[in-house]
């Protein structure tokens, strides 16, 4: 990770703290008004989405160019998989072996572009319940908007373009969104299978458990008539005996 990326993430996290503080209290009040309690799950989801948005925007836009920074000699790169040649160029520049390719700045930048859109692909499953096609189109659309923002110098708010419109970034971002969808879909599938397996095992466990034996009553009054009937005697209660036997 470069120092520029670390700076962007730091500013993004700071922005999250501010935005989260502004959103949290109204959300808690809304929950008490609607549900009579705080829905922790909704609060966590809002926090995660807010954190991702702030970090993503910061990584895309920051750091802004300073007056003394040199301008880009190339603002558009439309050759697919140009990053492979750039990795080779970087290895040759520093005299590194091919085994060091994964540690080059070019490859790390590509990996960051993939990872940046993985959460977006996960949101399409976990929050919006949509399919892989939606994740692909969402990743492509958001990535295209990012590249256009960079090409137009943040729609004219920056003094000049300081990021390259790169087709490889477009492909990496889209791949990251699809990868996030696959990971989230696999998680949901495994979770559903686990729940179904637990539901199947529950009746079997109940059938194998020993039945509880009801406690025996120790009241003499309830057992005396039955015992007297077995031995052929009459109950000892005077109300049930003939008057001749009582005399």
Residue with token string 């750039």: 86
Cβ atoms of residues 54 and 12 within 8 Å: yes
Q: State the CB neighbour count (10 A cutoff) for residue 176.
A: 24
Same domain, yes or no: 57 and 97: no
- pTM for the predicted model, two decimal places: 0.77
Same domain, yes or no: 52 and 122: no
Same domain, yes or no: 168 and 105: yes
On whether residue 27 sits in a domain, the answer given is yes
**Residues 100-139 pLDDT 10s:** 999 999 999 999 999 999 999 999 999 999 999 999 999 9
Picking from 145, 167, 192, the residue at the C-terminal end of a domain is 192
In terms of residue numbers, what domain contains 49? 1-64
**Residues 13-23 pLDDT 10s:** 999 999 998 99
**Mean pLDDT for all residues in the chain:** 85
* pLDDT for 236 beyond 70: no
pLDDT of residue 227: 45
Number of separate domains in the chain: 2
Same domain, yes or no: 58 and 100: no
Same domain, yes or no: 47 and 104: no
Cβ atoms of residues 101 and 90 within 8 Å: no
On whether residue 178 sits in a domain, the answer given is yes
More confident position, 208 or 189: 189
On whether residue 218 sits in a domain, the answer given is no
Same domain, yes or no: 172 and 107: yes
In the chain the beta strands, taken as DSSP E runs, fall at 76-77, 165-166
Same domain, yes or no: 10 and 58: yes
On whether residue 197 sits in a domain, the answer given is no
* pLDDT for 226 beyond 70: no
On whether residue 174 sits in a domain, the answer given is yes
Q: At 204, is the pLDDT very low, low, confident or very high (cuts 50, 70, 90)? A: low
Element containing residue 225 per DSSP (H, E): helix 220-231
Same domain, yes or no: 162 and 100: yes
On whether residue 176 sits in a domain, the answer given is yes
* pLDDT for 47 beyond 50: yes
The closest of 210, 200, 179, 166 to 74, measured between CA atoms, is 166
Contacts of 96 (CB under 8 A, 6+ apart): 90, 104
- Any bridge partners for residue 77, and if so which? 166
On whether residue 58 sits in a domain, the answer given is yes
Picking from 192, 211, 240, the residue at the C-terminal end of a domain is 192
On whether residue 97 sits in a domain, the answer given is yes
Same domain, yes or no: 55 and 119: no
Biggest alpha carbon–alpha carbon distance for the chain:
130
Q: State the CB neighbour count (10 A cutoff) for residue 53.
A: 16
């Amino acid at each position: 990770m470069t120092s520029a990326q670390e700076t962007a993430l730091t500013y993004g996290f700071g922005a999250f703290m501010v935005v989260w503080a502004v959103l949290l209290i109204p959300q808690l009040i809304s929950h008490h008004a609607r549900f009579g309690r705080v829905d922790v799950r909704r609060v966590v989801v809002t926090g995660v989405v807010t954190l991702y948005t702030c970090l993503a925007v910061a990584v895309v836009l920051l750091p802004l160019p300073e007056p003394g920074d040199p301008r880009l000699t190339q603002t558009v790169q439309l050759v697919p998989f140009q990053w492979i040649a750039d990795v080779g160029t970087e290895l040759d520049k520093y005299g590194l072996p091919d085994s060091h390719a994964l540690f080059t700045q070019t490859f790390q930048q590509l990996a960051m572009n993939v990872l940046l859109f993985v959460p977006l692909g996960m949101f399409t499953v976990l929050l919006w319940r949509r399919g892989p096609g939606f994740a692909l189109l969402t990743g492509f659309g958001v990535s295209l908007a990012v590249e256009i923002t960079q090409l137009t110098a943040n729609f004219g708010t920056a003094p000049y373009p300081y990021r390259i419109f790169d087709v490889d970034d477009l492909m990496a971002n889209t791949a990251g969104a699809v990868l996030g969808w696959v990971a989230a879909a696999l998680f949901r599938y495994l979770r559903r299978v686990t729940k179904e397996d637990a539901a199947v095992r529950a009746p079997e466990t109940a059938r194998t458990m020993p039945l509880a034996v009801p406690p025996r009553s120790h009241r003499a009054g309830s057992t005396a008539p039955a015992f007297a009937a077995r031995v052929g005697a009459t109950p000892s209660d005077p109300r049930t005996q003939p008057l001749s036997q009582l005399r």
